[in-house]
Amino acid sequence: MKRVATRGSKKGMCNICGIFCTLTEDHVPPKGSITPQKVGIKSLAQTVDPIDPKIVRLSQNGVKFRSLCPSCNNHRLGRKFDPALNAFSQAVAQIIRNRSHLSLPSRLEVSLQPQRVVRSIIGHLLAAEIREDMSLAPASEPMRDLMRYYFLDTSADLPSEFNVYCWPYRAKHQVIFKGVGILSGDQIVIGDFLKYFPVAFWLTYQAPDRIREVMRDREISVRGNGFDDWSTVVIGTKEKDTFRPNWPESPDDNEVMVINNDVCFVATAP
């Protein structure tokens, strides 16, 4: 069986900025957002296949991909963007952990620095892919190119093609899905998912208006904020307010999910 590739060659072109260098391993999600532990990483098809639920690649130390240059990994993500995602993840974790013994309001506002948090998510999504030949430039495609441009230029605002949604996520397994199409009724939504306890993120690309409407309450409002600005996102504290943990990897009856199995991963404790 084909192994999930997380390592690739030692030298190659950075998945984000394209510079040729000795590549470094990026933890997805970053270490400060979760405690890295021994996990088994499977492609999505392997997790939904009841015949062979075998774990195909073991990592002793969380999910990581050797795909970034030192500047994108350590300087941009590590120093500038990840601390904001880590602080947000920890704030949501605290709410979820406390909900059983506190009578919380049903919705809580959580503060975050949206331009930093979203760049962190986008950077790790870009990192989560080992290309067949890392010495070649990452393939150019409109959604990925726009993600790279936004990530690298910290004076840029989030392009209007993107929307970012989040909700509490209580399951243990981590999910990284890239370029997923969800066909719901007659509309298709293209996007990437990053899910780990305590939060799930969905980055959509050119989402139809109806989806934007339905998802409005869960949106991280990014546009119009400066790089250092703070805003808030509403986190529902009750179980019923949130999506079931295995959405979208097991779609609703009226949905069809289209995936590229090479860039969709689920990591679980072995």
Instruction: Give the span between the Cα atoms of 179 and 47, in whole angstroms.
Output: 18
Select from 4, 28, 72, 211 the one that contacts Zn ion (CB under 5 A).
72
The residue among 138 and 198 lying less far from Zn ion, judged by its C-beta, is: 138
In whole angstroms, the minimum distance from the beta carbon of 26 to Zn ion comes to 10
In whole angstroms, the minimum distance from the beta carbon of 224 to Zn ion comes to 27
User: End-to-end alpha-carbon separation of the chain, Å?
Assistant: 18
Stretch that binds Zn ion, among 6-14, 96-104, 106-114, 117-125 (CB under 5 A): 6-14
In whole angstroms, the minimum distance from the beta carbon of 127 to Zn ion comes to 9
Q: What is the DSSP letter of 140?
A: P
User: Pairing relation of β-strands 174-184 and 264-268?
Assistant: antiparallel
Q: How many CB atoms lie within 10 A of CB 149?
A: 11
In whole angstroms, the minimum distance from the beta carbon of 24 to Zn ion comes to 9
The residue among 12 and 114 lying less far from Zn ion, judged by its C-beta, is: 12
The residue among 128 and 257 lying less far from Zn ion, judged by its C-beta, is: 128
The residue among 125 and 257 lying less far from Zn ion, judged by its C-beta, is: 125
What tokens does 190 get? Answer: 């293209």
The residue among 68 and 164 lying less far from Zn ion, judged by its C-beta, is: 68
Q: What is the DSSP letter of 60?
A: B
The residue among 72 and 118 lying less far from Zn ion, judged by its C-beta, is: 72
Cα angle for residues 67, 71, 76 (degrees, 5° grid): 100
Residue list 14-33, contact with Zn ion (CB under 5 A) = 14, 16-17
Binding of Zn ion at residue 69 (CB under 5 A)? Answer: yes
Cα angle for residues 8, 9, 15 (degrees, 5° grid): 70
Stretch that binds Zn ion, among 62-70, 85-93, 153-161, 258-266 (CB under 5 A): 62-70
Instruction: Give the span between the Cα atoms of 181 and 15, in whole angstroms.
Output: 22
Residue 17, helix vs strand vs coil: coil
* Residue count, binding to Zn ion (CB under 5 A): 5
Binding of Zn ion at residue 126 (CB under 5 A)? Answer: no
Q: Is 187 left (phi over 0), alpha (psi -120 to 50) or beta?
A: beta
Return residues touching Zn ion (CB under 5 A).
14, 16-17, 69, 72
